[in-house]
Amino acid sequence: MTPHPIRPFVDDAAVRHVGEGLLARTLPKAEWTHEAHLAACLWLVRERPDFVPESQLPDTIRRYNVAVGGENTDSAGYHETLTQLYIRGVRAYAATLPAGTALVAAVNALLASEIGDRQWPLCFYSRERLFSVDARRGWVEPDLDAVPAG
């Protein structure tokens, strides 16, 4: 995996700011980073039992993208396979956390894990398959290795 500097969160409030900003479509576009994607997903899994990421996160991200001036096309914006892959990875990771782990500690540990690496999806997918129009539009099965259960 390729090393990349991790931008950790400073506290639980910073994580919640990202998650709540995503849902309200008020998070500044510049704050919607790789780390923010993972933090929002873990926050949703841990603190929002009313929200089902597998079915609700796709439209949430699409609407957020449009709200901040982005697009959801065959080459930009929302990517279904990446979203569903990360939901599975985050769920699997969350299941390993000791009870009572602080939100910020959980998020920062996730970011430091293999799942936090931007190249993690390439453990399961070839670049060609992962960045195909089909993978952006819908779930595609991996072509290199099995995806962890969520």
The string of pLDDT tens digits covering residues 84-137 is 999 999 999 999 999 999 999 999 999 999 999 999 999 999 999 999 999 999
CA distance 150 to 56: 16
Dump pLDDT digits (tens) for 67-83: 999 999 999 999 999 99
Kindly report the pTM of this predicted structure: 0.95
